[in-house]
C-alpha cells in the first residue's frame, strides 16, 4: 500500500520585505494577519490599504527530511490546490508550474528528492499582474467590473464584486504532500450511478490506473454487498467495473424523502493480494431529469417533478482557506432549516470542496453547479483554453459520485452579457467564451457524466433565436427589480424558472458593530458606506423604503426597516412565483450567504447571523404555502402543497378592522394532493374595503395564515403599538412572550443587540389585538429583561410613527 505524507509544517512566507511563518493550507492574507503585519481587512476600510498584497510576488518555502523507500520507487508531489500562478522547485530544481486555482497538480519528484534534508519552494507570481499581462497579450474583453479576473483561472470574486471585497489572494490553499507508491495507483475513478426502470441500481466505475511496473494488477469494487473483480494485464491501464444493486433505497432531496448513502470501495492489488491503493466514496441511487419542453425548466428527481425552493451560494469567506467543514455544515444546515431544497453554486466562485457536496448529500440539498465563469467575456485562446478543459474534466469526475449534484451550468450571465451589455462592438471578432458554453463544456459533461443535464448558461432560454433572458423560456434573472423598479414588479413576470432575484439589506446590528467603528453609525458614515459595494446601493434602499414604509427617524429605524423591506420584497417574489406552479418551477433567491460583513442581498450575514429575510424564506418556502395574490378579477387565495402528504383543511377568510373586528367572512374547503396548487377567487365583500388604510384581509387554513393589507404601511392608520410582555429565564436562554393590545406589524426581537451570540427562533410576526406569540432566545449570556422588551431590541413597523 502506498503512503501519503502531508507537507503542512515549517513553512515560511517571503515577499515585500516581509519574512513570516506561514500556515499551509492557507493564503498570504491570513498569514500576514496572523503575524500582525496587516489589520483585519474585513474591518472598517482596511481593505483599501491592502491592494499591495495582490500586486506582490510571494514565496512559500519549507524544509523536510526524507528517507527513500527502496520498495516504493515512485514519489509524487501532490498539490490539491495552488492559488494561482506558481513555480515549484525542489532542492533548486524546477519540478513544475501551475496556472489554475480550480484544479490539482501532481509531479513526479522521486529523482529530485534526496536522503536527509530537502527544500521545497513555491513561488507565486502576482495574479493581478499576470492577468493584466494576459489582457495586454490577448486584447481586452468587456466585463462587469474594472478588474481582469477573466484572464486567469482564479476565483473571480477575489477581484471584488458588488457584495465582496477586493482581496486578491495567493497561497497553497488546499493540502499538499508526498505520495509514495509502487506497482500501481488508482489515478481516477469515474462513477456513473443510474437506476433502471425496474428500480434496480447500477454503478459503472470507470477506473484509470497509473503503473510503475509490468505485472498484472487486480481491481475489485464493492457496494451494498455486491462485489466485482477484474484483472488488468500488463498492457491495460483502464477498466470498467459494473455493480448491479437490486432495488436500492432511493436518495431524495429532503423535501421529498430520505437520503440513504451507500459506501463504494475500489481496491487495487497485486495478483498475490498485496494492497497497492484504495478509493472510497458514498453514492446515492436516484435519477435526475430536466424537462425543457415548450420552454419549461423543470427538474425531476426519481421521476417526481419538483418546484426548486432555492438560494444562490457564494464562497462563504472571501479568504476561502478559513472555511471549515463545520462552518459549511452550519451554513447548509441553516438552508435546510429555512425549507430550502436547492443550492445554486454561482459561477464567480469555486467548484466547492468535497466537504460541501458531502454535506449536501447528507442533508438532501440539490446542487445546481455553475462552471466558474461570471459576468465577463472570456478569451478562448491558449493557454486558457487548455486550462479550462483540464479543470472541467477533473471536476466533473471529482463530483460525479454526489447525488446532490443534479445539473451543470456553463456560466453566470455571460451569454446575457454578450446580447445586452454592449459587448459586441467592443469585442469585434475576438472570442468571448461561446466555444466553452456551447461546445467544450457540454462535450465534457456528455462524455464524462451523461447522468446529469447540462445547461449552457444562467440565464439561458434554450434557443439561440430567443433572447437569453426571456422569462417564458428556460431560466431567467430578474434584476430590473432592485436596480430600476419597485419590488411589486416581480408580479409583472410569468417566468418558468427564476435563477436569480434579490433585494438588499444591512447585516445584523452585532455584525455591523463588530466590523465598523463609525461614531455615530449612520447609513452614509464612512465605514458603512465602504461596506456597501453595490452601485447606488443606499439610494436603492431608500427608494425601496419610500415606496412602502414610514420614513425612518434615526439609524435604528433605518436598520430595522431596510431589513423588513428586504424580507417583504423577497416574500412577494417567492410567493408570486410559487403561486404560478406548475408553469413556474423554480425560485432561486440571490443570495443565501455573505463572504464578509456587508450590506447585501443575503439572508445570512457575513458573521453567520440570520437576517429577517431568513425567517421570511422559512415561511415562504414552507411545504404548505397560503398566499393572497392579485389576479385579473381581483385578489385570490392560492394554496400550494409542495409536501409529501395531502393537505385537507378549511380556508377561512375575513376582512377585519385593525382592531380585530370582523367586517366580512367567507369559508372554503381545501383539499390538495402532494405537489398541487389551487386558486380560489375571493368574493367582493371580502376584498372591497370601506377604508383601505384601516382594514386587513386575514386568511387561515389550520395553523397556516396569510395577510393581505389594502394599502402600503406608510399609508395605513396603524395605532401606536400596545402590548404586554413576559420574560422567563429558561435553560439555554429566555422566552419572551408578547400579547398584543393593538395590531403589531412585523414584530421582531433583535436579541443580538444585547448579546452578539443570541439567536431567536422567529421574526416578522404580525399580531392582531388579543393574539400572543413567544420568542425563544437562545443565549449563554445573562440578559436584561427590560432590554429584551424595549426599543431598539423589540421592534414592529408601527412603532415608527410620525
pLDDT digits (tens, 9 = 90+) for 496-540: 999 999 999 999 999 999 999 999 999 999 999 999 999 999 999
With DSSP H G I counted as helix, E B as strand and the rest as coil, what are the percentages for the chain, rounded to 5?
A: 25, 35, 40
Mean pLDDT, rounded, of the chain: 97
Summarize the confidence of residues 601-609 as an average pLDDT: 98
Q: How confident is the model at residue 173 (pLDDT cuts 50, 70, 90)?
A: very high
Asked whether the predicted pLDDT for residue 802 surpasses 70, the reply is no
Query: Rounded distance, CA 693 to CA 355, Å?
Result: 52
Look up residue 654 and give its DSSP letter: E
Q: How confident is the model at residue 731 (pLDDT cuts 50, 70, 90)?
A: very high
Residue 149: what pLDDT?
98
Residue 696: what pLDDT?
97
Residue 2: what pLDDT?
86
Phi-psi region at 420: left, alpha or beta (left = phi > 0; alpha = psi -120 to 50): alpha
Residue 714: what pLDDT?
95
Query: Rounded distance, CA 576 to CA 572, Å?
Result: 6
CB atoms within 10 A of CB 663: 16
Residue 432: what pLDDT?
98
Q: What is the 3-state secondary structure (H, E, C) of 26-87?
A: CCHHHHHHHCCCCCCCCCCCHHHHHHHHHHCCEEEEEEEEECCCCCCCEEEEEECCEECEEE
Query: Rounded distance, CA 441 to CA 393, Å?
Result: 9
Domains of the chain: 3-178 (2.60.120.260), 182-283 (2.60.40.10), 305-504+583-620 (3.20.20.80), 624-715 (2.60.40.10), 723-799 (2.60.40.10)
Asked whether the predicted pLDDT for residue 368 surpasses 80, the reply is yes
Q: How confident is the model at residue 414 (pLDDT cuts 50, 70, 90)?
A: very high
Residue 722: what pLDDT?
96
Give percent above pLDDT 70 in the chain: 100
Three-class SS of residue 756? coil
Question: In whole angstroms, how far apart are CA 594 and each of 239, 314, 605, 618, 630?
Answer: 43, 7, 5, 18, 33
Contact 295, 496 (CB under 8 A): yes
Residue 142: what pLDDT?
96
- Within 509-621, strands assigned E span 586-589
Residue 72: what pLDDT?
81
Residue 311 backbone dihedrals phi, psi, to 5 degrees: -140, 155
Q: How do strand 82-83 and strand 171-172 relate by DSSP bridges?
A: antiparallel
Produce one character per residue of 548-573: b if its CB has 16 or more CB atoms within 10 Å, e if not: bbbebeebbbbbbbbbbbbbbbbbbb
Query: Rounded distance, CA 405 to CA 359, Å?
Result: 11
- The model carries a pTM of 0.97
Summarize the confidence of residues 626-643 as an average pLDDT: 96
Query: Rounded distance, CA 239 to CA 399, Å?
Result: 20
Q: Which residue did the predictor score with more confidence, 146 or 27?
A: 27
- At 255-306, the pLDDT tens digits run 999 999 999 999 999 999 999 999 999 999 999 999 999 999 999 999 999 9
Query: Rounded distance, CA 180 to CA 714, Å?
Result: 70
Question: In whole angstroms, how far apart are CA 663 and each of 93, 701, 711, 713?
Answer: 86, 19, 17, 20
Produce one character per residue of 590-600: b if its CB has 16 or more CB atoms within 10 Å, e if not: bbbbbbbbbbb
Query: Rounded distance, CA 223 to CA 103, Å?
Result: 29
Asked, as a colleague might, if the bond just before 98 is cis with ω within 30 of 0, I would say no
Query: Rounded distance, CA 412 to CA 458, Å?
Result: 5
CB atoms within 10 A of CB 446: 11
β partners of residue 737: 726, 774
Contact 314, 412 (CB under 8 A): no
Asked whether the predicted pLDDT for residue 70 surpasses 90, the reply is no
Residue reference for cell 509524487 = 76
Asked whether the predicted pLDDT for residue 1 surpasses 80, the reply is no
Q: How confident is the model at residue 71 (pLDDT cuts 50, 70, 90)?
A: confident
Contact 77, 95 (CB under 8 A): yes
- At 316-340, the pLDDT tens digits run 999 999 999 999 999 999 999 999 9
- Identify the burial level of 111 via C-beta atoms within 10 angstroms of its C-beta, where 0-12 means exposed, 13-18 middle and 19 or more buried: exposed
Summarize the confidence of residues 350-372 as an average pLDDT: 98
Amino acid at each position: 500500500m502506498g503512503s501519503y505524507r502531508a507537507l503542512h509544517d515549517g513553512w515560511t512566507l517571503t515577499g515585500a520585505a516581509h519574512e513570516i511563518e506561514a500556515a499551509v493550507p492557507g493564503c498570504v492574507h491570513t498569514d500576514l494577519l496572523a503575524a500582525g503585519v496587516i489589520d483585519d481587512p474585513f474591518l472598517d476600510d482596511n481593505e483599501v490599504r491592502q491592494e499591495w498584497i495582490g500586486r506582490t510576488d510571494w514565496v512559500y518555502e519549507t524544509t523536510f527530511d526524507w528517507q527513500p523507500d527502496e520498495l516504493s520507487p515512485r514519489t509524487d508531489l501532490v498539490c490539491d490546490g495552488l492559488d494561482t500562478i506558481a513555480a515549484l522547485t525542489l532542492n533548486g530544481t524546477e519540478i513544475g508550474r501551475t496556472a489554475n486555482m480550480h484544479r490539482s497538480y501532481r509531479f513526479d519528484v522521486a529523482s529530485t528528492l534526496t536522503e536527509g534534508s530537502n527544500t521545497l519552494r513555491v513561488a507565486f507570481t502576482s495574479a493581478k499582474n499576470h492577468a493584466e499581462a494576459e489582457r495586454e497579450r490577448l486584447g481586452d474583453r468587456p466585463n462587469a467590473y474594472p478588474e481582469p479576473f477573466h484572464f486567469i483561472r482564479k476565483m473571480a470574486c477575489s477581484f471584488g464584486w458588488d457584495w465582496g471585497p477586493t482581496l486578491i489572494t495567493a497561497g497553497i490553499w488546499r493540502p499538499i504532500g508526498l505520495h509514495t507508491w509502487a506497482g500501481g495507483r488508482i489515478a481516477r475513478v469515474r462513477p456513473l450511478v443510474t437506476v433502471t426502470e425496474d428500480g434496480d441500481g447500477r454503478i459503472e466505475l470507470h477506473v484509470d490506473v497509473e503503473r510503475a511496473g509490468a505485472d498484472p494488477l487486480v481491481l475489485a469494487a464493492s457496494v451494498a454487498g455486491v462485489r466485482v473483480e477484474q484483472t488488468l494485464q500488463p498492457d491495460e491501464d483502464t477498466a470498467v467495473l459494473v455493480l448491479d444493486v437490486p432495488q436500492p433505497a432511493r436518495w431524495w432531496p429532503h423535501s421529498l424523502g430520505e437520503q440513504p448513502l451507500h459506501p463504494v470501495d475500489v481496491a487495487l492489488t497485486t495478483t498475490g493480494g498485496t494492497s497497492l491503493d484504495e478509493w472510497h466514496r458514498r453514492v446515492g441511487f436516484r435519477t435526475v431529469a430536466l424537462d425543457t419542453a415548450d420552454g419549461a425548466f423543470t427538474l425531476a428527481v426519481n421521476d417526481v417533478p419538483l418546484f426548486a425552493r432555492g438560494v444562490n451560494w457564494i464562497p462563504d469567506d472571501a479568504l476561502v482557506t478559513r472555511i471549515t467543514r463545520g462552518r459549511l455544515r452550519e451554513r447548509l444546515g441553516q438552508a435546510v432549516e429555512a425549507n430550502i431544497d436547492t443550492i445554486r453554486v454561482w459561477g464567480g466562485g469555486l467548484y466547492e470542496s468535497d466537504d460541501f457536496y458531502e454535506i449536501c448529500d447528507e442533508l438532501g440539498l440539490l446542487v445546481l453547479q455553475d462552471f466558474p465563469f461570471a459576468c465577463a467575456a472570456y478569451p478562448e485562446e491558449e493557454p486558457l483554453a487548455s486550462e479550462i478543459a483540464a479543470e472541467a474534466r477533473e471536476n466533473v469526475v471529482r463530483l460525479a459520485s454526489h447525488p446532490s449534484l443534479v445539473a451543470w451550468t456553463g456560466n453566470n450571465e455571460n451569454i446575457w452579457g454578450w446580447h445586452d451589455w454592449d459587448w459586441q462592438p467592443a469585442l469585434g471578432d475576438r472570442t468571448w467564451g461561446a466555444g466553452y458554453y456551447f461546445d467544450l463544456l457540454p462535450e465534457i459533461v456528455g462524455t464524462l457524466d451523461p447522468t446529469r443535464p447540462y445547461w449552457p448558461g444562467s440565464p439561458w432560454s434554450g434557443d439561440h433565436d430567443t433572447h437569453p433572458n426571456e422569462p417564458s423560456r428556460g431560466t431567467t434573472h430578474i434584476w430590473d427589480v432592485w436596480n430600476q423598479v419597485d419590488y411589486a414588479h416581480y408580479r409583472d413576470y410569468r417566468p418558468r424558472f427564476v435563477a436569480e432575484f434579490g433585494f438588499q439589506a444591512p447585516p445584523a446590528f452585532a455584525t455591523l458593530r463588530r466590523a465598523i467603528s463609525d461614531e455615530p453609525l449612520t447609513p452614509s458614515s464612512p465605514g458603512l458606506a465602504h461596506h456597501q459595494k453595490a452601485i447606488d446601493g443606499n439610494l436603492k434602499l431608500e427608494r425601496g423604503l419610500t415606496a412602502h414604509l414610514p420614513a425612518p427617524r434615526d439609524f435604528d429605524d433605518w436598520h430595522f426597516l431596510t431589513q423588513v423591506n428586504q424580507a417583504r420584497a423577497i416574500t412577494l417574489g417567492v410567493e408570486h412565483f410559487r403561486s404560478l406552479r406548475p408553469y413556474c418551477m423554480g425560485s432561486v433567491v440571490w443570495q443565501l450567504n455573505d463572504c464578509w460583513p456587508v450590506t447585501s442581498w443575503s439572508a445570512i450575514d457575513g458573521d453567520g447571523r440570520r437576517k429577517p429575510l431568513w425567517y421570511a424564506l422559512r415561511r415562504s418556502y414552507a411545504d404548505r404555502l397560503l398566499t393572497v395574490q392579485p389576479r385579473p378579477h381581483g385578489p385570490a387565495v392560492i394554496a400550494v402543497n409542495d409536501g409529501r402528504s395531502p393537505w385537507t383543511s378549511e380556508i377561512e377568510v375575513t376582512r377585519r378592522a385593525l382592531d380585530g373586528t370582523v367586517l366580512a367572512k367567507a369559508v372554503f374547503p381545501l383539499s390538495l394532493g402532494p405537489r398541487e396548487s389551487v386558486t380560489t377567487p375571493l368574493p367582493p365583500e371580502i376584498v372591497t374595503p370601506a377604508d383601505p388604510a384601516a382594514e386587513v384581509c386575514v386568511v387561515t387554513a389550520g395553523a397556516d395564515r396569510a395577510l393581505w393589507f389594502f394599502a402600503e404601511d406608510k399609508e395605513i392608520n396603524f395605532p401606536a403599538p400596545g402590548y404586554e410582555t413576559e420574560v422567563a429565564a429558561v435553560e439555554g436562554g429566555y422566552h419572551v412572550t408578547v400579547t398584543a393590545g393593538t395590531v403589531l406589524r412585523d414584530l421582531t426581537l433583535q436579541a443580538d443587540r444585547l448579546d452578539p451570540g443570541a439567536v431567536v427562533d422567529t421574526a416578522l410576526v404580525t399580531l392582531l389585538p388579543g393574539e400572543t406569540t413567544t420568542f425563544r432566545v437562545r443565549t449563554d449570556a445573562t440578559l436584561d429583561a427590560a432590554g429584551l422588551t424595549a426599543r431598539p431590541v423589540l421592534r414592529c413597523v408601527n412603532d415608527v410613527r410620525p
